[in-house]
Amino acid sequence: MLKNLIKDELIFTDHSFNNHNELFDHIQINATNYVTNQFSEKLSERELQFPTGLELSGINVAIPHTDSEYVKEQFIALYTLEKSIPFKRMDDPSSDTNVNVVFVLGLNEPHAQLEVLQSLMGKMQDEAFINNLVNLKNKNEILKQF
């Protein structure tokens, strides 16, 4: 399921951003066929209310997403970051975690969100998978990991 949602044109390796809002603006520009023009703004709003940073053993991850009405076509965008950026922690919104991998979810089928999150969580708990993902630069190799 994940492999069908990850779009090769939305895989970005070794990118640098000063904060997650810059990353959200980047996905807005690069995913115009997939999202409405409010997607970035709604990602930011939702991130304030429901933080998505996950502190894992080793490499930290964020899974920002927003309501289905801002998604035209389902996708998962993947960012591996050259330098980490802070996200508020999902389990402790008063704390930040420095994130190196970001999965931006664009889902417009309500039942798909739970399935996708469960699949992603399974992958993220595999430390070797995340470490390998960060080191890959070729989009085809990244897609093979899924």
> Domains of the chain, with CATH numbers?
2-145 (3.40.930.10)
Q: Which of 106, 6, 129 is nearest to 56 (CA)?
A: 129
Q: Which two tokens stand for residue 67?
A: 């309501």
For the stretch 115-136, what's the b/e string if a residue is b when 16 or more beta carbons lie within 10 angstroms of its beta carbon?
ebeebbeeebeeeeebeebeeb
Q: How far apart are CA 84 and CA 2, in angstroms?
A: 24
pLDDT at 1: 72
Q: What is the mean pLDDT of residues 22-40?
A: 96
Q: What's the pTM? A: 0.94
Write the CA distances from 53 to 65, 91, 139, integer angstroms: 12, 8, 24
pLDDT at 57: 79
Cα 140–chain centre separation: 18
Amino acid at 105: L
**Is residue 25's pLDDT more than 90?**
yes
**Is residue 21's pLDDT more than 80?**
yes
Using 50, 70 and 90 to split pLDDT, how confident is the model at 29? very high
**Is residue 117's pLDDT more than 90?**
no
pLDDT at 70: 96
Beta strands in 37-95 (DSSP E): 53-54, 61-62, 75-88
Mean pLDDT (the chain) is 92
Of the two residues 130 and 35, the one the predictor is more confident about is 35
Contact by Cβ (8 Å): 111, 72? no
Q: Which two tokens stand for residue 90?
A: 């999902």
